[in-house]
Structure 1
Amino acid sequence: MQEKSSRKRRFVLAAAAGVLLIGGAAGVAAATGVFDTEAPGAQQSTTPTQSPTPSEPAVPVAFTAEPADNAAEVNPASTPVLKVQNGTIESVSLAPKSGGGDVAGELSANDSEWTASEPLEFNTEYTFAFTLADTNGNTTKGSQTFHTVTPPNEANAFMAPMDKSVVGVGHPIEINFSEPVLNKPAVEAAITVTSTSAQTGAFYWISDTKARYRPETFWEPNSTVTVDMKLFGVDFGNSMIGNFNETRTFQVHNSRVAVVDNLTKTMQVFIDGQLTRSFPITLGDAEWPSPSGYQVVMSQHETLPFRAESIGLKPGDPAYYEPFDASWASRLTNSGVFVHQALPGALGALGVINVSHGCIGMSPEGAKYFYDTFEPGDLVQVLNTEVGPAAVWDGYGDWNMPWAEYSTQPKA
């Protein structure tokens, strides 16, 4: 209970004459009321009052309380406020109904307004209790309740790269939301991305639940990126409210780029712009051509089961292959393009012809070198396949979209 002073006084108590609820959306409206401390029949304290008889009848105390009485799904980031006219606030208590400490707040200099100074909790019923005094010092108590946003209306988000991770220069920021985001400008405004290289960037929405962020050009090597997500209380739309604040950082290591050329059937590896190794490769055949453009290493697996069914093939199809476990597999797209060790029967095709289903097949030495040298976020650039690049949604195909298009996506 927060009282405006420690002085002891005795007052004649009077009952509220009535309370009027005003408003539309739950949790936004205010409750207003009038306490008529001079009303006939008002209940008086059993303790005799020491206050002098007023020369004039006191003007009824009027108050406005937000959130409204019995409001539901109140945004916990909203600020409860109690305002009084024709009187003063003697004491205020805003606390969970089930028990717990009072919410901190501040009383105005003239004791006519109380404002909460800390956020509320999700899924909590609060009791807002207060004592008001009229101009003659007579006091009346009031109380109302409201309930904050419940779990079905909470919204969460999950970001990659992970906090404190180290990634390649091509790794975009990806944020997956637990609920569809209809109010995209508000969510974007609540997320701040900064880098030690001072690169600016833009968001691109793959869907209502998935957003990406990238700078105009690749991240500067050896830079640090910080993502500050202040989503607590942010309205995603459709009554879904963000439930957390979090700051994440990740490091960008040096530049590692593998250039794969279909004309020469080779992979050239460039570290910090310098050619370090070259390997023969095989790409997708005419029926299953490899996508061109930039692809980004997404994940890596020492061994990974490959099944023809995963790309829509069934036993009996001409392109069907028996199940096998690929060695030194580095994923490049969601649709199933990998850098991996070619099967023994395909080793003779390296540097000569294309025999894969779109993957980049390499020798055991080459695949192991790529697996050991490259990490998530590192780049593979595929040239001269005469096939379009991987789409922005297929893995991290963000770099295949022109910046002018990426940075000006409509957000409605």
Structure 2
Amino acid sequence: MEPEAQPRRPRTAKKILIVAVVCLLAAVGGVFAAVAPGLAGAVLESEAGSAVRTSPGLAAPVVAPVKSDAAPANGAKQVNPAAPVSLKVSNGTIERVTLTSTSGETVEGSIDAAGTGWTAAGPLKFNTDYSYTYVVKDGAGRETSTTQSFSTVSSSHEADAAIYPLDGMKVGVGQPLQIIFSEPVLNRDAVEKAIKITSSAGQVGAFHWHSDKMVRYRAEGFWVANSTISMDMQLFGVDLGNGQIANFNKKVNIAIGDKKVAVADAAAHTFTLSINDQPVKTLPVSMGDKRFPSARGYGVLMEKKRYDHFRASSIGLKPDDPAYYGDVDVEYTIRLTLSGAYIHQALESAYPFIGNTNVSHGCIGFAPDGAAWVFDNMGTGDVVHIVNTEGDFAAHDDGFGDWNIPWSEYDN
């Protein structure tokens, strides 16, 4: 006899659910084991456990990484000190920026209202290494710090200049403005654009380059008497060419005096000074002889000395030359050219020839009282126009011979 069949006990829903989960996990585990056996049995952390991510996916929202653009570039060399130092970011904001030199000097700067841009407030120094550290924050509030470095133009590529007249000087109506650079200038247009010259009388002038280092500026006519001239030179950081960078900004204000123009007549042996176009004094003189005729044209008075010392050797004369005069002390000297033409009191041996014969080595010689009067009444920037001489024009840069250059040639 077969045993009596026992009735089956119904499975509970809980047991059914457990079995289903176990089967599902077994199936998933089998897939992982088939794809990546090394992960089988590993405990995996869900990406959903992280609030943010920087790569696309379904488990969490994406936060784009901060992009930054810093200038100068990291490791840059020979950076122009006038070049802007800046930082621009996207997908985030700038928290703070520090720009310091290796000597510990800090360059101040400011962050814009949006927090996405920073700019240095002032220029850098030449021949200096800088450390540039900035901290940025992304959309999730995470901060990142970056440090870069760069160095500026070395001293070997730093250019300076000498300017004349000096700030605050008072000069005559014939004085050109002069800048002599320490290094050759190839980018002349850039230099001229960086210099603004204004006249209280409204005169407009032109630059004229006498060499690759020296430039001068004058108006078409003499400066207006008792006007003022202002030179505003914003040359810091200007590239002169060949990597030479100007290292200065400078403002110069110059006062112009009365119009004083003298005419020295080698044929009449006279020197006539006019002040503001009115003749005030005519004096007898002796000028350059046939061997050393005085240079013709306009000359502008330069430095003057109450006492000076002249040497014949300075103009190439030797003791065996009949014109040799050795070393002599001279009074009331005013320089006309760099090469040695002066207004001065004549040597005593020339007194009999004053007013009737030219016996000098190119200078304009006066009797003692005449020399003293001219010395007291004329000065730097005043003009002497030499006429009726057999001499040629002095070189334009042998002193200030700018007025002997036609305006059409000067302004080019």
TM range (shorter): 0.7 to 0.9
The one of 269, 274, 277 aligned to 2:273? 269
In the other structure, the counterpart of 1:187 is 191
Q: Does the C-alpha gap of structure 1 residues 99 and 51 become closer, same or farther in structure 2, counting only changes over 3 Å?
A: farther
In the other structure, the counterpart of 1:87 is 92
Please give the alpha-carbon distance, in whole angstroms, between the structure 1 residues aligned to 2:269 and 2:107: 70
The letter for the 2-side match of 1:277 is K
Shift in Å at residue 60 of structure 1? 3.5
Q: Does 1:100 align with 2:105?
A: yes
Deviation digits for residues 100-127 of structure 1 (CA, Å, limit 9, x no counterpart) = 3342123351x33322232223332221
SS in structure 1 at match of 2:202: coil
The letter for the 1-side match of 2:247 is N
Contact 1:105/1:118 (8 A) holds in 2: no
Shift in Å at residue 143 of structure 1? 0.6
SS in structure 2 at match of 1:318: coil
Q: Which runs of structure 2 are paired with 1:362-401 in the superposition (5 Å)?
A: 362-401=366-405
Greater CA radius of gyration, 1 or 2?
A: 2
The letter for the 2-side match of 1:250 is I
The letter for the 1-side match of 2:297 is G
Please give the alpha-carbon distance, in whole angstroms, between the structure 1 residues aligned to 2:159 and 2:364: 39
In the other structure, the counterpart of 1:244 is 248
The letter for the 1-side match of 2:69 is T
Shift in Å at residue 185 of structure 1? 0.9
Shift in Å at residue 152 of structure 1? 2.1
The one of 290, 298, 303 aligned to 1:299? 303
Q: Does 1:56 align with 2:55?
A: no
Deviation digits for residues 260-319 of structure 1 (CA, Å, limit 9, x no counterpart) = 112211111112222221111111111111111111101101111111111111111232
Q: Does the C-alpha gap of structure 1 residues 205 and 53 become closer, same or farther in structure 2, counting only changes over 3 Å?
A: closer
Identical pairs, percent = 46
Q: TM-score, length-normalised on structure 2?
A: 0.83
Q: Does 1:323 align with 2:327?
A: yes
Q: Does 1:204 align with 2:204?
A: no
Please give the alpha-carbon distance, in whole angstroms, between the structure 2 residues aligned to 1:114 and 1:135: 19
Please give the alpha-carbon distance, in whole angstroms, between the structure 2 residues aligned to 1:213 and 1:254: 20
Task: Give every structure 1 segment of 4 or more consecutive aligned residues whose post-TM-superposition deviation is greater than 4 Å.
Answer: none
Q: Does 1:174 align with 2:152?
A: no
SS in structure 1 at match of 2:351: helix
Please give the alpha-carbon distance, in whole angstroms, between the structure 2 residues aligned to 1:227 and 1:51: 65
Please give the alpha-carbon distance, in whole angstroms, between the structure 2 residues aligned to 1:378 and 1:265: 20
Q: Which runs of structure 2 are paired with 1:123-134 in the superposition (5 Å)?
A: 123-134=127-138
Shift in Å at residue 401 of structure 1? 0.5
Q: Does 1:332 align with 2:336?
A: yes
In the other structure, the counterpart of 1:223 is 227
SS in structure 2 at match of 1:93: strand
Shift in Å at residue 257 of structure 1? 1.5
Higher helix share: 2
SS in structure 2 at match of 1:132: strand
Please give the alpha-carbon distance, in whole angstroms, between the structure 1 residues aligned to 2:142 and 2:278: 84
Q: TM-score, length-normalised on structure 1?
A: 0.83
SS in structure 1 at match of 2:374: helix
SS in structure 2 at match of 1:72: strand
Contact 2:51/2:61 (8 A) holds in 1: no
Please give the alpha-carbon distance, in whole angstroms, between the structure 2 residues aligned to 1:257 and 1:374: 9
Please give the alpha-carbon distance, in whole angstroms, between the structure 2 residues aligned to 1:51 and 1:204: 72
Contact 1:219/1:252 (8 A) holds in 2: yes
In the other structure, the counterpart of 1:342 is 346
Q: Does the C-alpha gap of structure 1 residues 102 and 379 become closer, same or farther in structure 2, counting only changes over 3 Å?
A: closer
Contact 1:298/1:332 (8 A) holds in 2: yes
Deviation digits for residues 144-178 of structure 1 (CA, Å, limit 9, x no counterpart) = 01112232222111211111111111111111112
Contact 1:221/1:255 (8 A) holds in 2: yes
Please give the alpha-carbon distance, in whole angstroms, between the structure 1 residues aligned to 2:93 and 2:159: 39
Please give the alpha-carbon distance, in whole angstroms, between the structure 1 residues aligned to 2:105 and 2:344: 58
Equivalenced residue count is 358
Q: Does the C-alpha gap of structure 1 residues 197 and 51 become closer, same or farther in structure 2, counting only changes over 3 Å?
A: farther
- Over the aligned positions, Cα root-mean-square deviation in angstroms equals 1.8
